[in-house]
């Protein structure tokens, strides 16, 4: 398994965070901490690109919810892109697929 790596880049619709590796108890705090440095404007969309995410536990899910809360506080949206099948299954089981718009990739999530 791989250590967490987060790459942040800009898009027309707002910031995109590419999450790679394991988003778990040991690393979820890193995402939560990085979120505090992301400035969002009302109407923007924070996209979490999960194409490179290898594993996500309940702490990781909580960090995704924290990202959504951060965006909502700024009157912005959040979207998940390229959610791995195993994580998508968990999102559906716990109902988080109802909270997050899901896109097949970050390109479609960042279309204005």
pLDDT of 9-33, one tens digit each?
A: 999 999 999 999 999 999 999 999 9
pLDDT tens digit string along 75-111?
999 999 999 999 999 999 999 999 999 999 999 999 9
pLDDT tens digit string along 42-66?
999 999 999 999 999 999 999 999 9
Residue 1 has pLDDT above 80, yes or no: no
CA distance 57 to 23: 7
* Predicted local distance difference test score (pLDDT) of residue 2: 84
CA distance 64 to 76: 15
All domains in the chain, ordered by first residue: 5-109 (3.30.750.24)
């Amino acid at each position: 398994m791989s250590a967490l790596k987060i790459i942040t880049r800009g898009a027309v619709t707002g910031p995109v965070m590419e999450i790679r590796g394991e988003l778990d108890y040991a690393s979820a705090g890193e995402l939560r901490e990085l979120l505090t440095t992301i400035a969002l404007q009302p109407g923007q969309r924070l996209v979490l690109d999960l194409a490179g995410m290898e594993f996500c536990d309940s702490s990781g899910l909580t960090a995704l919810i924290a990202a959504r809360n951060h965006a909502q506080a700024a009157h912005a949206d959040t979207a998940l892109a390229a959610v791995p099948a195993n994580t998508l299954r968990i999102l559906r089981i716990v109902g988080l697929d109802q909270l997050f718009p899901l896109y097949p990739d970050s390109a479609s999530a960042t279309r204005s």
